[in-house]
Amino acid sequence: MLKESKNRYFGAYGGRFIPEVLYPAFEELDAAWKKYKEDAAFHEELQRLNSSYIGRPTPLYYAENLSRHLGRAKIYFKLESLAHTGAHKINNALGQALLAKKMGKTRLIAETGAGQHGLATAAAAAKTGLECEIFMGEIDMARQQPNVFAMRLLGARVTAVSEGTRTLTDAVNAALKNWTKRIADTHYLLGSALGPHPYPDMVREFQSVIGRETKQQIWEAEGRLPDVCIACVGGGSNAIGLFSAFLDDEVELVGVEAGGHGPDSGQHAIRMSGIAKTGIVQAYKSFFLQDENGSLLPTHSVSAGLDYAGIGPQLAYLAETGRVRFTYATDEEALKAVELTARKEGIIPALESAHALAEVIKRASSLSQDALLVVNISGRGEKDLFITAPEFEKENWMNFLRAEYERLAKDGK
């Protein structure tokens, strides 16, 4: 059954540091989570929807062309990109939406960066008949327009956050603030394995389906466990979802952060392999990119989903104990990984997932011929069209946008 962290902490990280006004909401959530994580009927319902609605199990795909191209190792992709709404985020969104229903809530709120969690929450809200409001930084709204449109189509209200860096960090603050005003009817559906207890536990457990499936699938395909599992790390939910099944095994676990314009540029989200310090921010204790006064530093990544100053407490702990190793990939490396994967496998990965793929490409020459690698393809790349198209074909893309604009203007729309 589902597992809970002891004393709400992972080593020194985690906890719950909330304003008094949120105490009742967390007590209610704690009680519901304790009850339903052991509830067979709840699991049955989730499993049924996992298979019929999300499309689980997602495939573990042998990327034969890429493996051959890189010349070493067998590389497998865990294709969360094929989950409904295009990323792993739906695993957690649907789980928490069902829990919210059981708690008698009628409204979901969520923060989103890349828009994938917002999209997943909007879909889960529509499916379960709940009202939905998504908080999104203005900058993320501009760069992830297709997901903003999709969330609205799914019936969600998307609220622009204009404070601070106008990205994910500020969207979390806005969602928490909103929750304090509407505790009675609202569940805050947090999108990564971070935040105050019990979110890190709850999100990991809903995402742990990734690791459980992968373990079974690699046994079936290869008759042994992988040597290495690699995942990108924003807040950490796709990574801990995959890693959780392998924590007690002899499997190397690697998290890849957003290197942005490089570690010396000041424009990145490198926390664990960089300069982050411990702190208590957004109601939990972990590593955060912060200045000498403890204020969060601005972050940058070509991928909105990795553009965050903090990291989930369990991953912070696993880094400290040396169980998970962290590295980073730059924007440029991620874009190159998108292109190579598209050409070799006919798969366009999300820019977030491309960071994990960039690490595979970097490692390729040092791997042994019979090494087995699993990479979590946390999402698909269609949402990134407005970022990747101008990167790869600026002139064509500008012509297309101009022509579309003129066509719509002529229609009087």
Ligand X SMILES: Cc1ncc(COP(=O)(O)O)c(C=O)c1O
Where on the chain is the footprint of ligand X (CB under 6 A)?
Answer: 87, 89, 113-114, 116-117, 192, 232-239, 305-306, 350, 352-353, 378-379
* Dihedral over Cα of 52, 57, 58, 64: its sign: negative
**Which of 74, 78, 89, 285 is an active site residue?**
89
Whichever of 194 and 367 has its CB closer to ligand X, that residue is 194
The least distance separating ligand X from the CB of residue 404, rounded to whole angstroms, comes to 26
How far apart (Å, rounded) are the C-alpha atoms in residues 9 and 14? 5
| SS3 track for 84-130 | HHHECHHHHHHHHHHHHHHCCCCEEEEEECCCHHHHHHHHHHHHHCC
DSSP string, 220-282: HHHSS--SEEEEE-SSSHHHHHHHGGGTTSS-EEEEEEEEET-TTTT-SB-IIIII-EEEEET
Whichever of 242 and 367 has its CB closer to ligand X, that residue is 242
Whichever of 160 and 221 has its CB closer to ligand X, that residue is 160
The least distance separating ligand X from the CB of residue 243, rounded to whole angstroms, comes to 11
Whichever of 14 and 379 has its CB closer to ligand X, that residue is 379
**Which of 37, 133, 378, 383 is an active site residue?**
378
Answer yes or no: 192 catalytic: no
* Dihedral over Cα of 35, 43, 22, 313: its sign: positive
Whichever of 235 and 260 has its CB closer to ligand X, that residue is 235
Answer yes or no: 111 catalytic: yes
The least distance separating ligand X from the CB of residue 231, rounded to whole angstroms, comes to 7
Answer yes or no: 3 catalytic: no
Residue 141 in contact with residue 114, Cβ under 8 Å? no
Question: DSSP 3-state assignment of 294?
Answer: coil
The least distance separating ligand X from the CB of residue 199, rounded to whole angstroms, comes to 11
The least distance separating ligand X from the CB of residue 307, rounded to whole angstroms, comes to 9
**Which of 111, 205, 213, 359 is an active site residue?**
111
Catalytic sites, residue numbers: 89, 111, 378
